[in-house]
Amino acid sequence: MTKQDKNDNISTSVALDDEQRVRVLSPGMLVTKRFLRNRLAVVGLAIILVMFVFSFIGGLLAPYGETQVFRKYDSIEKDYAGAAINVDYQYTDAEGETFPSLAKAQLILAINNEETSFVSKDVTYSLIKEGNEFYRVVQFEDVAKVVNLRGINRFTPVEGETFTPEIEAAYLVASEAGEESFDLDGITYYVVKSGTNTSIARAKEISMISKMIFNPYTADTVMDYDFKYAAEKAMNDKVEAFEVNGVNYEMQLDEEDNSAVFYTVNGDEKVEYALVSNVSINAAGNEFLSIDFKEAVLNAIDNGDTSFVMADNNGVDIEYNINRKNNQYTIRRFTETELIDVYSSPSKVHPLGTDGNGMDILTRLMYGGRISLVIGFVVVIIETIIGVVLGGLAGYFGGWVDNLIMRVVDIVYCIPSMPLYLILGSIMDFLKIDPKARIFVLMIILAVLGWPGIARMVRGQILSLREQDFMVATEALGIRPSRRIFRHLVPNVIPQLTVIGTMNLGGIILTEATLSYLGLGVKYPYASWGNIINAVNDIYVMTNYWFVWIPAGLLILITVLGFNFIGDGLRDAFDPKMKR
């Protein structure tokens, strides 16, 4: 052969698909070359790589945590105090005494029936009216019995009591004047008549009843029974000054408001001590309301004002708004308050804003991508293993084994997946399954319901492959069945498994997103693209905060599209009839 003849057999072509070049490439390289020539497949591969980098590497580089909640300070109107016109009787028990609850019910009946005494649990109480809606409850302790015979009074002292001529003389004066009580040496004695019997008695104080509210000027001020009685008595009698327990008090009465301010007097010095009115004013929190504030509220209510301005402890004027509902008043003011930064618009700090829980959406999308992608791959791996094992056994052995496995496949196919998801989701909610455990349960459920399609495909392929010459050779060599199936038959099905698995990834991600959107999948605080897009359930959020749900929806769309592109590319690359 000449040199020229030898050169004629040497190819000078550099094309990728000419006969000589194809002959030196391995089957894997052939598939790779065909895959890379598919532009959509390459785009899909790039999309998935970007999603993995975004989810796994982005989450590591993110400055925030998955569940980190952001807060802000804002001025909001909050309840500061509440006021109500008091319509219930207030009880102040005398020192060392307790007025029972059951007796209080009997007292109200006595007041309504205008009775002067009532009985509760065999104890007789006397009711003394001191003024309008102002009463004292006492128990009379007899000092002496009085018997009048033919105009002559005979006095019989009660055992243990001291009865003096002065008491007798004072009684006679009061009796002639028709009075029911008389005072002697600072003690009030009462003339108690019961039928034909008359007694001289001393009152034992039990409780004071009125509808007035006593407000101390300072938080540590304690107002006892004696002061309250003397103060309300002064309001009824319009007495401007009085003395209680050695302390002098003065009163400034406002008849229009039915209120009064009381001062302690020490020489020329007067100090505010208490405010008494029929309006109950209480703080919404733990703050102590000053007398000045309560007076301002009373004046505003009396004038019908809806707001008033008052300086705080630092001298700063604060406006208070009054909202009325029947006899109830709510006093509100704007307060600098720490709030969760929910639905914050995109900014430099939060490029995609914050969600309804005050968490950074971009960071949640990164961590959500991890869970969505991991669920997709884990489910595909599990259902592929189950499908390959059962499909391989059914296709190779045939007969009753094939019939049994295919009937199981038919049963699984007949299970309505969505109702099952709803039932299992409700069960997990009832059992309060840990959110992390729910993720694994979700993977298992999706895999258990997804393997029949793979099993059928593997069975069909193995039914056609088991009659090939190479399988006859393995049988002749005495290779055991498990090795024939998983070493010689299953590898020939890998191209189809790769295509189906890639296609299924997108479907599983969509299924997980749907379940999480319905509240049946991944639960808070863990993020997935599905439960992030769950914000669409609120029409207000959907229409006003697009940045909460549109990014998650776009990531789901792009990722599923990427897996579909890859699946289409692999299908074309493994097709032996494809034009080279």
Across the range 135-156, mean pLDDT stands at 82
For residue range 267-298, list pLDDT tens digits in order: 888 888 888 988 888 888 777 788 788 888 88
What does residue 30 show for φ and ψ, rounded to 5 degrees?
-60, -45
Query: Which of 10-14, 386-390, 516-520 has the least mean pLDDT?
Result: 10-14
Q: Is the pLDDT of residue 302 over 60?
A: yes
In whole angstroms, give the CA distance from residue 331 to residue 296: 11
Going by pLDDT thresholds of 50, 70 and 90, the confidence category of residue 513 is confident
Q: Are residues 377 and 498 in the same domain?
A: yes
Q: Are residues 460 and 527 in the same domain?
A: yes
Going by pLDDT thresholds of 50, 70 and 90, the confidence category of residue 436 is confident
226 found inside a domain: yes
Across the range 510-520, mean pLDDT stands at 80
For residue range 556-577, list pLDDT tens digits in order: 999 999 988 888 888 887 765 5
130 found inside a domain: yes
Going by pLDDT thresholds of 50, 70 and 90, the confidence category of residue 579 is very low
Q: Are residues 101 and 168 in the same domain?
A: yes
Determine the pLDDT at residue 51.
Answer: 92
Q: Could you tell me the CATH number of the domain that includes residue 440? A: 1.10.3720.10
Identity (one letter) of the amino acid at 503? M
Across the range 174-203, mean pLDDT stands at 80
Percentage of the residues of the chain whose pLDDT score is greater than 90: 16
99 found inside a domain: yes
Across the range 394-422, mean pLDDT stands at 87
Q: Which of 242, 522, 204 is nearest to 534 (CA)?
A: 522
Determine the pLDDT at residue 351.
Answer: 92
Q: Is 90 left (phi over 0), alpha (psi -120 to 50) or beta?
A: beta
251 found inside a domain: yes
Determine the pLDDT at residue 555.
Answer: 92
**Beta strand residue intervals within 67-122, DSSP E:** 71-85, 90-93, 117-120
Q: Which of 547, 579, 551, 395 is nearest to 486 (CA)?
A: 395
Determine the pLDDT at residue 25.
Answer: 56
Cis peptide before 165 (omega within 30 of 0): no
Q: Please enumerate in sequence order all residues whose Cβ is within 8 A of that of 566, keeping only pairs 6 or more positions apart, or say none.
A: 41, 44, 45, 48, 502
Q: Are residues 202 and 217 in the same domain?
A: no
334 found inside a domain: yes
Q: Please count the other Cβ atoms lying within 10 Å of the Cβ belonging to residue 504.
A: 22
Query: Does pTM surpass 0.95?
Result: no
Residues spanned by the domain of 561: 25-69+350-574
Among residues 175, 209, 243, the one where a domain terminates is 209
The C-alpha angle with vertex 372 and arms to 371 and 373, in degrees rounded to 5, equals 95
Q: Are residues 149 and 257 in the same domain?
A: no
Average pLDDT of the chain to the nearest whole number? 83
Cis peptide before 27 (omega within 30 of 0): no
364 and 532 Cβ atoms separated by less than 8 Å = yes
Q: Is 212 left (phi over 0), alpha (psi -120 to 50) or beta?
A: beta
- Looking only at the bridges linking them, the beta strands covering 152-157 and 134-149 are antiparallel
Q: Are residues 184 and 230 in the same domain?
A: no
Query: Which of 21-25, 83-87, 564-568 has the least mean pLDDT?
Result: 21-25
How many domains does the chain divide into? 3
Q: Are residues 54 and 116 in the same domain?
A: no
3 found inside a domain: no
Going by pLDDT thresholds of 50, 70 and 90, the confidence category of residue 22 is very low
Across the range 126-133, mean pLDDT stands at 87
452 found inside a domain: yes
Q: Is the pLDDT higher at 385 or at 503?
A: 385
Determine the pLDDT at residue 474.
Answer: 67
148 found inside a domain: yes
Q: Are residues 240 and 365 in the same domain?
A: no
The C-alpha angle with vertex 67 and arms to 66 and 69, in degrees rounded to 5, equals 125
Query: Which of 172-181, 319-328, 469-478 has the least mean pLDDT?
Result: 469-478
Q: Are residues 46 and 108 in the same domain?
A: no
Identity (one letter) of the amino acid at 369? G
Going by pLDDT thresholds of 50, 70 and 90, the confidence category of residue 578 is very low
Across the range 499-517, mean pLDDT stands at 83
For residue range 203-234, list pLDDT tens digits in order: 888 899 999 989 888 877 888 999 999 999 99
Q: Copy the structure tokens of residue 552.
A: 């998650």
Among residues 183, 209, 235, the one where a domain terminates is 209
Q: Are residues 366 and 234 in the same domain?
A: no
Among residues 209, 224, 253, the one where a domain terminates is 209
In whole angstroms, give the CA distance from residue 380 to residue 387: 10
Q: Is the pLDDT higher at 546 or at 468?
A: 546
Kind plus residue range of the DSSP H or E element containing 277 = strand 269-277
Q: Which of 382, 371, 520 is nearest to 447 (CA)?
A: 382
Q: Copy the structure tokens of residue 441.
A: 């349960």
For residue range 337-383, list pLDDT tens digits in order: 888 888 999 999 999 999 988 999 999 999 999 988 998 889 999 99
Q: Are residues 436 and 516 in the same domain?
A: yes
Across the range 181-208, mean pLDDT stands at 82
Determine the pLDDT at residue 580.
Answer: 41
Q: Please enumerate in sequence order all residues whose Cβ is within 8 A of that of 320, keeping only pairs 6 or more positions apart, or say none.
A: 80, 296, 297, 307, 308, 309, 310, 331, 332, 333
Q: Are residues 461 and 488 in the same domain?
A: yes
Q: Copy the structure tokens of residue 40.
A: 């959509």
For residue 359, what is the DSSP state?
B
480 and 441 Cβ atoms separated by less than 8 Å = no
Determine the pLDDT at residue 8.
Answer: 53
